[in-house]
Structure formats: C-alpha cells, structure tokens
Structure 1
C-alpha cells in the first residue's frame, strides 16, 4: 500500500507518466488471485493516468472485477470488504463515465444505476457527498445529451474520477 500511495502522490503532483509506470509495475507484481484489494486499488488509480478513454474504461473495469471477486469472498477474507463496499459507488460511477465518454449511453446509464444502488454504503462525509454529487452531475449530463463523443464528457473528465 505504501508504494501504491507513492504512485498516487506522483499522479496528484502532476507526474502522470511516472505514476502510470509505477502502477504498471505494481500491477505486474501483484497476484491476480491473492492480491485482489491491491489490484482493485491499482487499477482504480491507473485508470486516472490513461490518455485514451477506452484504456481508462478498461482499467476501471479491471478495478470493478477485482472488487467483485473480493466482495464475493470466493478468494479472500473479509478484512477489505468494508473498504470495497464503500468504493463500489465510485467504481460504478467511473465505469459509467467511461462508457459515456465513448458514447455508450445505455451502458453508461446501466453502470450509473448500479452506482446509485450502492450509495447507501457511503458515509455522510465529504467523500460520500462528492460521489453523490458526481452521480447527480453525470445523470444530468446524460439526460442533457452530453455523452455523445465531442460532448462535455469527451476529454474533460465529466463526472470525474473519484478515489
């Protein structure tokens, strides 16, 4: 987690390429069956470092797949399940925003509905309020037709990628 945190700090500090390189190395080092929480976290943040919206969505989907495997409890115990439960709304939101950026409105709406279903897991803190507000913004943008390529979601982050 320390090395993941360091890569996150690099990204937040503006060194997107080095963060991407470090996340890629961490991804290669983690075991797909034993390190699900770490892989979820790495993929979640790796998505933020991508230049291509399709690549960003692919990493968001990897994060969601790792969270699903962890949440289902088929491979690991419950020590990280609470953290994953509170991460689900953001994971689904990011998948929705990715689909929207690529013009896949039906997929975006479906993922956004799943994000909305998971909002109850969020605390009434700044993080929870931020995710809820981002869900509302993306719903409005989709209803306003902003999901089409070239629309407001195309390239500017739209609903935003949340931790």
Structure 2
C-alpha cells in the first residue's frame, strides 16, 4: 500500500507590473500556492501533526480553513451565494476546519482546495473590484476581499512555516 503525500505545488512568481486586478489576483495566487508549497511531500499523518500543545493548529487544518475562508468571502459573500453550505464548519461546530482533522481525508481535502479556488475565481471573475456587498461591518468591496485574503494567507503561511519546520526541519520562502 502506498502512503499518500501532499503533491508538489506549482507556484508562479507574483506579478511585478500590471493593472490592479492582475496584481491582486497574482499575489493571491502566489499565496495560495505558497500554502501548498509548505505542505508538499508530507504524509497525511504529518499534515495532521499539531504545532505544540495546547494548540490544535495543523497544516491540514490550515488547508481546510483556507478552503472555508475562500468559499465564505468569494462565493457566499461577494458573489451572493448565501445559501451555499460551509465546507467544514457548522453552527454546532464553528471550528470544524481546524478541529476535525484527526479523521479527515487529507487527499480529499487537498483536492477540495484547488477546486474551491477555481469556483471562487469564476464566481467573481465578472465582478468589478468596486462591487459591494453588505458584511458584518457594513459595506465591503471586492477589492477589500482580495486584500483581506492576501493578508489572511500571509498570516497563515507564517504559521505554516513554523509547523513545517517543527515536523521535519524544512524551512523556505
């Protein structure tokens, strides 16, 4: 029996020139692939390894969380598909993306991540950056969502660096 390992990521250098939308999309894509780069070559069990007690933060949890966050901001909120169910969380389990990794299917979760990204990109492709929707704090633009997602990935990619280093000593950019 072969042990599943996280596949290699295909990170493309972020853009240095371009219009605003291309720059935002390019940086978001770079950060999306950076998360996968931090996971590449690890087994499902390694991906479930928590950072340090009492934290339950894992690389698999981060992939699941970012799948959830992508869906929430781009498809449910910006594109207005409010009835779309959460990917891993529920009203009874608000942190299912992080909490339920022990029995999670890492291969399925890693397949769900790029599939969700494709759906999210398609959902907002026709919307201008000025597109607005109502959020918890009032009016929010799609531009803000892109900036927030880049920040969200940057923060969690820092967590991923530390998790990966603890698992096997690998560090990187």
Which structure: greater helix fraction?
1
User: Would the TM-score normalized by the shorter structure come out above 0.5?
Assistant: no
TM-score tier (shorter): 0.3 to 0.5
TM-score, normalised to structure 1's length?
0.33
Which structure: greater strand fraction?
2
TM-score, normalised to structure 2's length?
0.31
Q: Which has the higher contact order (CA 8 A, sep 6+)?
A: 2
**Structure with larger Rg:** 2
